[in-house]
Structure 1
Amino acid sequence: MTAADAGRGRTTPARRWRAPIAPLIIALVALIGLTILVYPTAAAWFAQREQSRLLGEAGEVTDAHAERNAASIAQAREYNDALRAGARIEANERLPLGGGEIADDALDYRAVLDDDATGVMTRVRIPRIDVDLPTFHGTSDETLLRGLGHLEGTSLPVGGAGTHAVITGHRGLADARMFTDLDRVRVDDTLTLTTFGEVLAYRVVSTTVVDPDQTESLQAQEGRDLVTLVTCTPLGINSQRILVTAERIYPTPKADREAGLADPHASDAPWWAAILGGGALVAGVYVWRSGIVSVR
């Protein structure tokens, strides 16, 4: 037999693919682990995207209704005057308890600064911690999962001497940043509120940690225009509150006004999607190669 005959006599083993059980399980476990790892970042990305969308829509509505904006702000200032005059407005009540005279409709908390399109009362920007969030009426759990909440019974965020607006937000959520980094804000940092087209600039004057029942510092102070940001601390325990109090800057600096009226910045590139996609590709190749077997 010649070498050529011997070569013709040999056959190349056929290759087939069979589902490899063990490698398949390993790949699935790895993908599940990777998904769990990137979930907080992915969820925060989607939350920021939704919040930016709401701010963008609210800005479009504001730009198109200058007269309505002025009327809404005027009504909010009447509401604040009633609070300063001693009126106390309870949740779900339209009429004040105590002194103060004002039109009934101005005391309907939910109707004042109500943007029918999005429900956004004001926009809060804190450059120090890269926060740009919508604020809604009230502080219910549902509200605080959408963004920040204005504490009912405190001044509405339209500024003015003797006003003190209080805005609250969650900290340490797995699927959104919210006020997670509020503890990094320092005295002399600035923040802005954009309320129905009007930009108010504030400079931080104090940062404190208090017990939940210590609310004295949230009261309005004669002659001062204040806003306080509130969140829970320590992370995961939430037994105390961080209070960041800022005082109005007059007039609003041009740069702050421009930033407050600018379109919300888009979400960062979803790098987590690239990691997840790369992991899925590697897992797929691993399973495919593991399933190739030779058949004679």
Structure 2
Amino acid sequence: MIVFGLLLLLYPSTASWFSQLNQSKLIRELNTDHHASSTHRAVADAREYNRLLVGGVIVEADQHKATGTVQSEGPYDYYSLLNATDTGIMGRLRIKSIGVDLPIYHGTSDSTLAKGVGHLRGTALPVGGTSLRPVLTAHRGLPEATLFNDLDRIAVHDTFVVEVFGEVSTYKVIETRVIEPDDTQAISVEQGKDLLSLITCTPLGINTHRILVTGERIVPTPISDAKAAGAAPEIPGFPWWAVIGGSVVLVVISYVVYAGYSQGRRRQKKTSPAPETESNS
């Protein structure tokens, strides 16, 4: 039971490390698969899709995610847009202030949100543009991945960066708030503004409300962010502290068990009756 409990204690850190390692690998693959001509066409198609899009968002209580509603997407197939690697990844989200560097996937299915950030279908694709508000969402509190766990730590004036097919958009946070699950007005388009919102559930494990972080695009893109585009993500260091800590605990447990066993054996020898000797008559 003790060993089982120890494994449970170490699981979140180890699983999160493997998840981050896989996310880093996917981002590196995404950055090597872009070609100038196909990139230009893909972004142009995404912007035309946004122009034709008529959609909306539903955010329900007691659910782990928001869902999008689509009334019209023109002649486009949503899942074929901005899909260079056939993995469903359309881009990358970087939030330096909370250490986030995650792939952005199409849609918000359970399988998608278990491994990265989902783009909320029914909102604009994240390629920038006035009078648009793409919405990106991810989980909090998963034992096997960090994702948006620290979204509540983002402050106004922090920035985050979205990379899509070589296009780099930097957003300055203009608002952070907790909203009711049915407050769809909070993520509606604002005419003349180039916005992007990040959304996740709160409180952890209860999911009755939503954390909403909204950023407004900085134009032109800061030079430092433009230069960092396509840079390989940092590969997280393996959580050796967990292994070392676990090993120490195992050694202590082994010593306690052995000491208890040895002490029991000594006590047993002391209390055992001496063997009877035969007497000669």
Deviations, residues 74-93 of structure 1 (Å, cap 9, x unaligned): 1000001112xxx3499xxx
Partner letter of residue 14 of structure 2?
A
Query: Please, what TM-score do these two structures have when normalized by structure 1?
Result: 0.78
In the alignment, which of 64, 71, 77 is matched to residue 41 of structure 2? 71
* C-alpha distance in 1 between matches for 2:250 and 2:89: 39
In the alignment, which of 33, 36, 49 is matched to residue 61 of structure 1? 33
Q: Tell me the secondary structure at the aligned position of residue 7 of structure 2.
A: helix
In the alignment, which of 156, 165, 180 is matched to residue 196 of structure 1? 165
1:237 aligns with 2:209: no
| Equivalent residue number for residue 218 of structure 2 | 249
* C-alpha distance in 1 between matches for 2:175 and 2:55: 26
1:38 aligns with 2:7: no
| Equivalent residue number for residue 134 of structure 1 | 103
Partner letter of residue 30 of structure 1?
I
What is the RMSD computed on CA atoms of the aligned residues?
2.4
Structure 1 residue ranges without an equivalent (≥5): 1-28, 91-95
Q: Tell me the secondary structure at the aligned position of residue 133 of structure 2.
A: strand
Q: Are the aligned partners of 2:103 and 2:116 in contact in 1 as well (CA < 8 Å)?
A: yes
Partner letter of residue 217 of structure 2?
R
Q: Tell me the secondary structure at the aligned position of residue 89 of structure 2.
A: coil
- Aligned ranges for residues 67-216 of structure 1 at < 5 Å? 67-83=37-53, 87-88=54-55, 97=71, 102=74, 104=75, 107-216=76-185
Partner letter of residue 229 of structure 1?
L
In the alignment, which of 8, 18, 21 is matched to residue 49 of structure 1? 21
Deviations, residues 55-102 of structure 1 (Å, cap 9, x unaligned): 11111112xx2211111111000001112xxx3499xxxxx846x9x5
Partner letter of residue 79 of structure 1?
Y
* C-alpha distance in 2 between matches for 1:157 and 1:137: 11
Q: Report the CA distance between 1:282 and its aligned residue.
A: 5.3
Q: Tell me the secondary structure at the aligned position of residue 163 of structure 1.
A: coil
Deviations, residues 256-284 of structure 1 (Å, cap 9, x unaligned): 12334210101123222333344445556
Q: Tell me the secondary structure at the aligned position of residue 215 of structure 2.
A: strand
Structure 2 residue ranges without an equivalent (≥5): 58-69, 267-281
**Matched residues, percent identical?**
44
* C-alpha distance in 2 between matches for 1:60 and 1:149: 21
Q: Tell me the secondary structure at the aligned position of residue 187 of structure 1.
A: coil
Query: Please, what TM-score do these two structures have when normalized by structure 2?
Result: 0.82
Deviations, residues 150-205 of structure 1 (Å, cap 9, x unaligned): 00010000001122110011011111111111011111000000101111100000
Q: Tell me the secondary structure at the aligned position of residue 121 of structure 1.
A: strand
Q: Are the aligned partners of 1:149 and 1:168 in contact in 2 as well (CA < 8 Å)?
A: yes
Q: Are the aligned partners of 1:193 and 1:260 in contact in 2 as well (CA < 8 Å)?
A: no
Equivalenced residues, count? 252
Q: Are the aligned partners of 1:192 and 1:260 in contact in 2 as well (CA < 8 Å)?
A: no
Greater share of helix residues, 1 or 2? 1
Decide whether aligned partners of structure 1 residues 279 and 115 sit closer, same or farther in structure 2, where only a CA change above 3 A counts: farther
Q: Are the aligned partners of 1:191 and 1:202 in contact in 2 as well (CA < 8 Å)?
A: yes
* C-alpha distance in 2 between matches for 1:88 and 1:111: 18
Partner letter of residue 267 of structure 1?
P
Deviations, residues 81-124 of structure 1 (Å, cap 9, x unaligned): 112xxx3499xxxxx846x9x5x2xx211111112343211101
